[in-house]
A and B are shown apart, each in its own frame.
Chain A
Amino acid sequence: MSNETWKKHIVNAINEAYDGTGGIYLDSGTNLLAELGALDGTQASTVLPGAGNSVANQVRHLLTTVRMHEPQFNGGDYPELDWGADWSEIDLSDAEWQELVKTFAATRETLIGWVTSPTVEENDDYVGAALMVATHHAYHVGQIRHAAGYAAQQ
């Protein structure tokens, strides 16, 4: 099996979640980071009626998920994570929101580095973790783009 073929698709899917360059599930020209950066703190913190969460909640959740995955690639103990905190009410200033977007943007290179690391042990856990993180991002990009569309109109 060519590892590189499969890894390339996982990396493409990860890239897609950030700036749409993967070409798997977003239309050409879609750039999530640009869409997020165009929101202000109030818009990003706006809870979509019925959905019970904001774009900022979703982004915070993805950051927590990245932290969860690190031991699967690098070894070590799983960190203690407060998943519920991701979804608690949030009220960010413009600067705080832009900082959150910047932090999220940086996780792209982190994830790709983990997936493509020459020293990672490419066992079943690695395959599952790589597939899981790329797919979990895709699921939330779907939710974020829906929520961002609403928030941008507020």
Chain B
Amino acid sequence: MTATATIPASAIKDATKAALKEAFDSPVGMFLDKGDALWETLEPVTAAQASIPIAPGGNSIAGQVNHMVFYFDVMAGYMRNDPPEHPDWSAAWKVVEVDEDQWQELKLALGQRQSEIITLIDNAPDEVFTDPDIVGGSYAIVAHTAFHLGQIRHALAAQGGQYTATHID
């Protein structure tokens, strides 16, 4: 094989958006099985299930979602060239138990952040997408979402029910 000059920014953007779609909405087999996306995973989860600590005294699925919302906000700040000065990461983990209204609000907040990040990526011209904060922030969200989706699915599997913690390909 021979080395080529550069990767087009459009290829990175497209791959990043495809990975976000895989993680959130509809897997095509990049790294998840069908049915394992975040929204497909969270939709049937009740507030009570979301409030069960993953380990005694530990965080819950609601806490994980709240942390993801917080992470999105921090990364979006970097992508807008307006990073928060001292983000309080621990505050995001203080949410453990939620009632149904709070659980719905958390999911709504996460959906809003998902849309916001897609818009930020779409609106970044190719020449701007070379910025380390933008290209890094957008991929960081992909990896971070995958990590927490893995934790959430494993936690749900451990709770019992129809969830599968893993995939076979």
- Contact across chains for B8 and A1 when beta carbons are under 8 A apart: yes
Query: Given A2-B130, A87-B168, A119-B1: A139 and B32 within 8 A (CB)?
Result: yes
CB contacts (< 8 Å) of A121 on chain B: these are 1-4
Query: Given A57-B166, A149-B55: A25 and B1 within 8 A (CB)?
Result: no
Question: Complex Cα distance A50/B143, Å?
Answer: 25
CB contacts (< 8 Å) of B7 on chain A: these are 1, 3, 6, 122, 126-127
How far is the CB of B82 from the nearest CB of chain A, in Å?
20
User: Is B165 part of the contact surface with A, judged by Cβ < 8 Å?
Assistant: yes
- Contact across chains for B154 and A138 when beta carbons are under 8 A apart: no
User: Is B103 part of the contact surface with A, judged by Cβ < 8 Å?
Assistant: no
Query: Given A48-B158, A51-B157, A150-B158: A24 and B6 within 8 A (CB)?
Result: no
- Contact across chains for A143 and B2 when beta carbons are under 8 A apart: no
CB contacts (< 8 Å) of A136 on chain B: these are 30-31, 146
CB contacts (< 8 Å) of A8 on chain B: these are 132, 136
CB contacts (< 8 Å) of B160 on chain A: these are 50
User: Is A147 part of the contact surface with B, judged by Cβ < 8 Å?
Assistant: yes
The chain B residues found within 8 Å of chain A, CB to CB, are: 1-4, 6-9, 11-12, 14-16, 18-19, 23, 30-32, 54-55, 126, 129-130, 132, 135-136, 139-140, 142-144, 146-155, 157-161, 164-166, 168-169
Given A6-B135, A8-B136, A128-B15, 9 extra CB contacts under 8 A: A1-B7, A6-B12, A9-B135, A50-B161, A53-B166, A57-B166, A127-B15, A135-B31, A150-B158
A sample of 27 inter-chain contacts (CB < 8 A) reads A1-B7, A1-B129, A1-B130, A3-B6, A5-B135, A8-B136, A10-B139, A13-B143, A25-B143, A25-B144, A25-B148, A26-B147, A50-B158, A119-B3, A122-B4, A127-B11, A127-B12, A131-B30, A131-B139, A135-B142, A139-B149, A141-B150, A142-B146, A142-B150, A143-B165, A149-B55, A150-B55
